Amino acid sequence: MPAIAIIGAQWGDEGKGKATDLLGSRVDYVVKFNGGNNAGHTVVIDQPDGRSEKYALHLLPSGILTPGCTPVIGNGVVIDLAVLFEELDGLVARGVDVSRLRVSANAHVIADYNRTLDKVTERFLGSRRIGTTGRGIGPTYADKMNRIGIRVQDLFDEHILTQKVEGALELKNQVLTKIYNRRAVTVEATVEELLGYADRLRPMVCDTGLLLNQALDRDETVLLEAGQATLLDVDHGTYPFVTSSSATAGGACTGSGIPPTRLDRIIGIVKAYTTRVGEGPFPTELDDDAGEHLRQVGAEFGTTTGRPRRCGWYDAVIARYAARVNGVTDFVLTKLDVLTGLEQVPVCVAYDVDGARHDEMPVNQSDFHHATPIYEYLDGWSEDISGARTFADLPASARAYVEAVEAMSGARISAVGVGPSRDATVVRHDLV
């Protein structure tokens, strides 16, 4: 059976959690392969009594909500252990079984000094800030690349852990005290905090790469779930306004230990419009009533931070780019219902940069920063589409919108989200 990757095809917050949850009952493993608790998923599950239960997940894979599915935190993730156990405790209190969770021994751990450095560095940068969440994600990935990081497996050897913390703090305390005028972090305090999680963490930890490859050998299905998105990828995103990990299909392999030859399907998630959190260029951004309308109707506020998201129209140029970079086989178009009530819906089909038309992403970041969207205008619709369950149930203009953006975006649109609830999805082509 295949490994399937779910990838964000814009700047994140596209609805990957819902798409993962949609497939969850049909897969055996759901793997988070990158990022940390700087990106959240919101999943809404309808109950038999008619109530809706909303779950905000920050670090855990969405598969944790599906009985019988094994959720996995892969080696490409950086883990704030306090957040991990707080999230697990919150789910247990609501009756969710979390006993199947598995955590890679090679995943890196966010230490207290990483969080401190993240916050003070952003403040120091001022107008040149990146727009991080201040949760220590970037500094932890930097430690990983500098080979001074702390891994999950280090928590089970106090001597090794102490040595690694000492090595990391030799430089970091110099930076904290002499550049930022902050108090030095003690080795003892950091080691004590991390060791405090070891006993509870130990039963969850394993060689997750081996676990997942053995599952594929048994013809079980593995779903790889990205945090963040293509335009936030450290290599392929709008650098430097990106995350610190690989959020593309290539990252799905390096962050999980599954080889690329076992990826069978790559599902790109796109909103029917576009949003972005944090700093950086955004050609279709709306600083007017239309942008505020999308924000309010779409509830565009960060799952993890609560920050209002920047909103704009659908950008087919970045969708084509994401399709190419990831090898997208299927798109899931989410939040089509948010566009209900608009007379016309603009779609960006190309950019104007100093009078020159660009149908693809400009190679120069400065050109992208100054790009002006070239729009086509599609007819809107007024009918409530939240009850649609087949493509034929949608109004003619809504169907035409889906078909138009499909033709522009480089891959077929296989499912369409028409509301926030778990089953509010129109499936055009099977995703498994």
- CA angle (269, 271, 275) in 5-degree steps: 115
Q: Tell how far CA 158 is from the center of its chain.
A: 33
Name 350's bridge partners: 374
Cα separation, 353 vs 368, in Å, equals 8
DSSP string computed for 194-245:
HHTTHHHHGGGEE-HHHHHHHHHHTT--EEEE-SS-GGG-TTTSSTTSS-SS
Choose among 226, 253, 278: nearest CA to 14.
226
Rounded-to-integer distance, Cα 350 and Cα 112, Å: 44
Separation CA 282–CA 315 (nearest Å): 10
352 is catalytic: no
Token pair 């102490």: residue: 162
Beta pairing, strands 108-109 & 70-73: unpaired
Q: Which of 41, 58, 108, 236 is catalytic?
A: 41
Catalytic one among 13, 28, 233, 315?
Answer: 13
Identify the residue whose tokens are 């945090």: 227
Q: With beta carbons less than 8 A apart as the criterion, state whether 409 and 332 touch.
A: no
Verify whether residue 41 is a known catalytic residue: yes
**Between β-strands 356-358 and 3-8, what pairing exists: parallel, antiparallel or unpaired?**
unpaired
Given a contact cutoff of 8 angstroms between Cβ atoms, the answer to whether 28 and 70 are in contact is: yes
Compute φ and ψ for 86, nearest 5 degrees: -65, -40
Q: Find the DSSP H helices in 28-94.
A: 81-93
Encoding tokens for residue 201? 């963490």
3-state SS assignment for residue 415: strand
Q: Dihedral of CA 96/14/301/102: which sign?
A: positive
Which residues does the annotation mark as catalytic?
13, 41
